[in-house]
Amino acid sequence: MQKKKLSIVQSIAQEIQDRIQRREWVRGNRLPGQRQLAEALGVSRASLREAITVLEGLGILRSEPSRGVFIASGRERGQGSAYGRWQFQGRYALRDVYQVRAQLEDMAVMLAARVVTPSGLDRLRATVRQMEAAARVGDLVAMSEGDHDFHAYIFQLAGSPLLLDTLTSIQDLVEGSRRVAFANPDRVVEPIAEHACVIEALASGSADKARAAMRAHLVNVADRSGVRLDLDAP
């Protein structure tokens, strides 16, 4: 059920992004009100609000108290991650989320390196191709989904129900941290090459190489979000 709900939210986010790209709504202007927009899209207001949160994280939309939701202008998008909203501000520091992610991803990728098969590597490469195709048309929603699929499959490969349950328990935080990193338009394609490096390390069968590649990737993810992450600090 949770997976179906996520799919609905992502499809709404995709539709809004597509309409913006088709210039049905002008950048810098306000979106229609939530009731009107929900009716136009044929979705619930609750799902629409979640989709707006997704697009705020990606820097595509921005909310202004008492004024509504606005489409980020080209100038704003050019300023990068400052316009990707961290939705848990005031509750959890973004840096802390990346640090916890790094510990979980460390364990997952090291376990995966010991058991990954050629078909598993092919599936990971498919997510890279998905991101490449999305990047060519500026589809941030699909890029974020491809990133999700890449990391989620590594956790599946790890074969640890406890590790997967731990990730699931903080899934909203993880997804939020993922979206903020895609809000920097000048660096949006960087994860593609980084994922390829992780796949190459996994293919070697070396847990240490896989861990090093994943750590380098996550340090860069944090940096794209404006967070300096030192995973080697005591």
Amino acid, res. 52? I
Distance of CA 205 to the CA centre of its chain: 27
Q: Could you give all domains of the chain from N- to C-terminal order, each with its CATH number?
A: 2-83 (1.10.10.10), 94-224 (1.20.120.530)
Contact 27, 73 (CB under 8 A): yes
Contact 71, 31 (CB under 8 A): yes
Q: What single DSSP character describes residue 65?
A: T
pLDDT on residue 37: 93
pLDDT on residue 233: 58
Mark the ranges of the chain whose per-residue pLDDT is less than 70.
Answer: 1-6, 74-84, 233-234
pLDDT on residue 231: 82
How many C-beta atoms surround the C-beta of residue 14 within 10 A? 18
Q: What does the block give as tokens for 134? A: 């999305």
The span from the CA of 6 to the CA of 26, in Å, is: 27
pLDDT on residue 67: 87
Please tell me whether residue 30 adopts helix, strand or coil conformation. Answer: strand
pLDDT digits (tens, 9 = 90+) for 164-199: 999 999 999 999 999 999 988 889 999 999 999 999
C-alpha dihedral sign at 206, 217, 176, 6: negative
C-alpha dihedral sign at 135, 139, 140, 143: negative
Environment class of 84 (CB within 10 Å of its CB; exposed 0-12, middle 13-18, buried 19+): buried
Q: Which of 17, 45, 9, 21 is nearest to 148 (CA)?
A: 9
pLDDT on residue 4: 41
